[in-house]
Structures are given as C-alpha cells and as structure tokens.
Structure 1
Amino acid sequence: MSPSVRQTMRQAADSLARPRHIDPAVPIKVGVDLGTAFTVIMVTDENGKPLAAANKFADVVRDGIVWDFAGAMAVVRELKDRLEAATGRTLSTGSVTIPPGVSISDGRAHHYVLEGVGIECTAVVDEPTAANAVLGVRNGAVVDIGGGTTGVAVIRDGQVVVTSDEPSGGTHMSLVISGAFKIPFAEAEARKVDTAQHGVLLPVVRPTMQKIATIVRDAIAGQDVQRIHMVGGSSAFAGFAEVMTEVTGVASEVAPEPMLVTPLGVAEWARPITEEGSV
C-alpha cells in the first residue's frame, strides 16, 4: 500500500474521530456507503481530502438490498444532521454505493434513500469501483467484505473488467460467534470488532473466512490476479488476509482503515457543494 494511501486513510480516521467545522468557501463532496452492518457518510474537499465523517451500525441493508427503507432513511438522516452540526455545512448533494451485480431496480432504493433525506443523489457507484478510487489499483483485485455480501472487482490497466457479489460477510462471522458462545448477536458483534478478542475468535470464524475467500478465488479464476486488496470493515479482523492468501493462492493485504475506503472513494463521483451549502 502506497504511503499516500496510508496518509489519506489516517486523515479519514481522524475525520471520523474529530469532524470539524468546514469553511463555507471550501467546496465539498459527500459520499454515502449504505452497508449491511455500518452506514457511513464521508465529507471531502473537491480533491478528495477527508474532512468529516460519521458512521452508525444499522440493520437496514441485507444481501446488498435496502430491506428497511424507513430505517435506512432514519440512519442517513441522523448522520447527515450530525455532520451538518459539526461542519456548519448543508449536505445537499452526494453519491452512494451499491454492491456489484445489484439490479437497476434494487439500486434505485439506495438513490431514493438519499433523496428522501434531502441529499440530491448525483451518482450510484458499485463498491469495489468506489474503493479503487482511493486505492488506485492498476492491476489486481479489490475485494469489499461487508456485513452481508462480498464484492469483487478485477482491475486490469486501471479498468474494472470483472465484478461479482455473493452473500457472505461479517454478519455471518458474528452469527457463528453467537452460536459458538451462546451469546446474543449484539454481543457477538461487539466481540468481533474488539481486536483483543481476535486471537480467541479466529479458530471459530476461520471456516467463514475460508468460505468468503473461496468466493473470491472463484471470482478471480483465470484472471491472472497477482494481488488482492481487501476493504470493508470485516476485512479488519486479524488473520483474514492470511486466510485469503492461503485459500486463493494470491498475496492479499488489508487496506488501512478498511471500513472508510469505500465511502471515501464514492465521494469522488459527487457534485461539489459550494459556499451556498452552508448553515
């Protein structure tokens, strides 16, 4: 991973931890990632520098499809309100992600969620393509491991040539943890994201990781992929890159701050908001 990508993702993490006021003269862009587990809104300047971000766990998308439209609107509205209060800017336009392979009709729901909370949706972009706007992969595969699905994009000469999306992801890991330890799903989710627990949990979730890696292996078969770049919050689980390498036979690495890569990337497709968009 290049030093510039690492620096950008450090800035993204800081923008999530400490969203700040943004001068009304600074044009901004807004990216929304409606994930199966976490929904993230990212605000950048017009050159893609992260300025402010907010996220929230919400069960509003399953297998890449918005199943709880009212709930999705509520969480995006909450994050929008939070960021507008922190930045002093009105988030009036933005772009949103969809998993690769989602139909046009199903993808419209993501568009309408933004429109329903007062964000004019200027673009709908598949998740791995959005992630690659940050990573800048010329040749290889970008794998977005979300809560409910795993999206794969094969990149050749900087262009996406193959995409796929299959149901399996971090939610399935949490379900396995829940069953193995006989604990509620919410507690299992909390343990999964606690890095101090990863050593104990790895043997439990390894079969699920192997299943996800098998999905990736099949998606890139015959594509001469030399490196796999992993994004999405679930890929942050310690040991996942090693399992991916073992199953696919392709060197794999996890991007810095993997949950923030896709929402940061999709902001590139948003129409800039000028000083008129201030509160």
Structure 2
Amino acid sequence: MFERSDMKLANSEFSYCNTLIENFETVTQKPITAPSAVYYTGVDLGTAYIVMAVLDEHFRPVAGAYEFANVVKDGMVVDYIGAIHIVRKMKQKIEKQLGTELVYAAAALPPGTFELDSGAIKNVVEGAGFEVTNVLDEPTAANAVLKIRDGAIVDVGGGTTGIAVLKDGNVVYVADEPTGGTHFSLVISGAYKMPFDEAEIYKRNPENHKEILPVLQPVIEKVASIILRHIRAYDVKEIYLVGGTCCLQGMEKIIAKQTRLPTMKPQNPMFVTPLGIALSCKQGE
C-alpha cells in the first residue's frame, strides 16, 4: 500500500543514517587507528545485545563491538556484575585496537525508566572504567541519527517496545511496553518445538525470515496495536522503526498495514540507537 513511496522516502530521509551505519559496520571489522584528539563512546545495554560504538573527534565511526547478552530484562539491569564484565571486555578490546584509552561514554534507557534504572545503567558503564558524560532516553538518542522532525520513532528491542512522538524535532510523548524480540522467540520456540536459545538463533538468521514472518504475524500485529494506542492522540503521519528486533525482514509491511501509516526503517536498525548514544556523548566538564 505504501511500499513504493516509502522506499523513495526512506532512501532520502535515511541517507545520513544509512551512511553512518555502513561506516560503523565497516569499522567493527576493521577499526580506523589514525589518532584522534578525543573519542566519544556510546554504550547500548540492550535486552538481547550490548553494543559499543566509538566515534572520533569529528563524530565519525572508528571502532565498535557487539555481543549477545542476557544481563538486561525489559529495559532493567538484572545481572549487574555480568553487564560490567561485558562492557569492560569490549572497552579493553577496542582500546587495544585503537592503541589508546577510551575515557568518555554516554548511555541510554528505554523511555519512562529513568527514575527506576538510570543509576544502574550509569553505574555499569562507570564500573567498566568510563567517565559517563550523558545519560539520555533511547528515542532521543535514535533521533540524533534519524534526524526526524515529525512522526513516531518505535524502538522494538529484545524486551520492550519504546515509542516516541516527535513534533518539530522535539519529543512530545514517550511510552514503553513489554513486548519485543523475546516474545518473538517464545512464539518460534512454541511453533517449532525448539528450545528458547535455539529459537533466538533461528530468528536472527535472515535466511529464515520469510519462513517465520507468518508465524510471527500475530505478535507483530500486537506491536502495531501498541503503537496505535500510544499515537492515537497525536497527528502522526509516519512511523520509523529502530531496534534489533526490527531487523526482521518484512516486519515493517505488517505494521504499515495494521496502522495504515507509512512505516520505514533504515538498513540496519540495530545500530541506530548505539550510534545516537555515541553522537550524544561529550567531553567531561
């Protein structure tokens, strides 16, 4: 219904975003070791993945790493020591690659969880050896990369779906509900009679996406209903998908059909928020 016009719109609106992601994907395999006066690091503690993005003094990607982890549940840190260990290990690996110490970092939380968990997230990043210079909400971080002025940014992570409505470039409403990639894996586990961990791996393989999309349609439609409920009071014209779960091919078409709104996503939605966190990092005061 929206496919052709959406593709044109996505190509133009996501030009900066897709270029940044392409560069980041490249440096995760081959870091840029040219010296920089300062490095800015973004740490994204996700339910499924922890991602670390490192930018140089010109805010260009120079290195990065990501690792599957079970240290966060529904946006909350549940394995504090394990989270510190993973982040510290990533930090040390990248420092060895770049031949320098990483000092400054930013972090982010799902919308609506600041009072509950902002201290824990900050303590994890500080416990790994960083000086935390900014903690922000995930939709604001994502928009540092997307640069959307009007619409709804929907971050479907491993445990939750976060929604932010933007008007004139400002976030005017945020919400977060427990439905995400974990629920997708539970459906696959039940449908295919396989252990949950195997379902997680099966889900992440792009070669299986066409096959599992019809199986996952009911839970994707639930995500769409969550989106609709939260944007109903706002004049939202477009939906922008980010988050690792949105890597599922064809998911955006189901949400577009259910919401009757153009629904777009960049080429690798998993890396949008981590890069936005790094872009929001700053030097210590």
With the shorter chain as reference, the TM-score category is over 0.9
TM-score using structure 1 length: 0.94
Q: Deviations over 1:84-140 (max 9, x none)?
A: 111112112200010000042421100000111111111111111100000000111
| Separation in 2, partners of 1:22, 1:60 | 33
Report sequence identity in percent. 43
Are the equivalent residues in 2 in contact too, given 1:13–1:257 (CA < 8 A)? no
Deviation at 1:156, TM superposition (A): 0.4
Q: Deviations over 1:148-183 (max 9, x none)?
A: 001111010000000001101011101111111111
Q: Tell me the residue number matched to 2:250.
A: 239
Are the equivalent residues in 2 in contact too, given 1:39–1:58 (CA < 8 A)? yes
> Which structure 2 residue ranges, 5 or more long, are not aligned?
1-9
- Correspondent of 1:217 among 228, 246, 249: 228
| Separation in 2, partners of 1:267, 1:103 | 19
Secondary structure at the counterpart of residue 20 of structure 1: coil
Change over 3 Å in CA distance of 1:105–1:4 after alignment to 2: closer
Is 1:182 matched up with 2:193? yes
Deviation at 1:18, TM superposition (A): 2.3
- Correspondent of 2:44 among 26, 30, 33: 33
Secondary structure at the counterpart of residue 40 of structure 2: strand
| Separation in 2, partners of 1:27, 1:209 | 42
Q: Tell me the residue number matched to 1:100.
A: 111
Are the equivalent residues in 1 in contact too, given 2:242–2:269 (CA < 8 A)? yes
Secondary structure at the counterpart of residue 135 of structure 2: strand
Q: How does 1:1-279 map to 2 (within 5 A)?
A: 1=10, 2=13, 3-23=15-35, 25-272=36-283
Tell me which amino acid in the other structure corresponds to 2:121: H
> Which structure 1 residue ranges, 5 or more long, are not aligned?
274-279
TM-score using structure 2 length: 0.92
Tell me which amino acid in the other structure corresponds to 2:265: V
| Separation in 1, partners of 2:124, 2:274 | 16
Deviation at 1:199, TM superposition (A): 1.2
Are the equivalent residues in 2 in contact too, given 1:122–1:269 (CA < 8 A)? no
Backbone CA RMSD of aligned residues: 1.3
Tell me which amino acid in the other structure corresponds to 2:51: V
| Separation in 1, partners of 2:161, 2:31 | 29
- How many aligned residue pairs are there? 272
Deviation at 1:269, TM superposition (A): 2.3
Deviation at 1:247, TM superposition (A): 1.5
Secondary structure at the counterpart of residue 161 of structure 2: strand
Tell me which amino acid in the other structure corresponds to 1:139: D
| Separation in 1, partners of 2:240, 2:205 | 22
| Separation in 2, partners of 1:105, 1:201 | 35
Secondary structure at the counterpart of residue 43 of structure 1: strand
Secondary structure at the counterpart of residue 122 of structure 1: strand
Moved over 6 A (4+): none
Range that drifts further, 86-95 or 153-162: 86-95
Deviation at 1:71, TM superposition (A): 0.9
Deviation at 1:63, TM superposition (A): 0.8
| Separation in 2, partners of 1:37, 1:124 | 20
Secondary structure at the counterpart of residue 125 of structure 1: strand
Are the equivalent residues in 1 in contact too, given 2:39–2:103 (CA < 8 A)? no
Tell me which amino acid in the other structure corresponds to 2:209: H
Q: Deviations over 1:173-210 (max 9, x none)?
A: 01111111111222111111111101111111111111
Are the equivalent residues in 1 in contact too, given 2:47–2:73 (CA < 8 A)? yes
Are the equivalent residues in 1 in contact too, given 2:42–2:274 (CA < 8 A)? yes
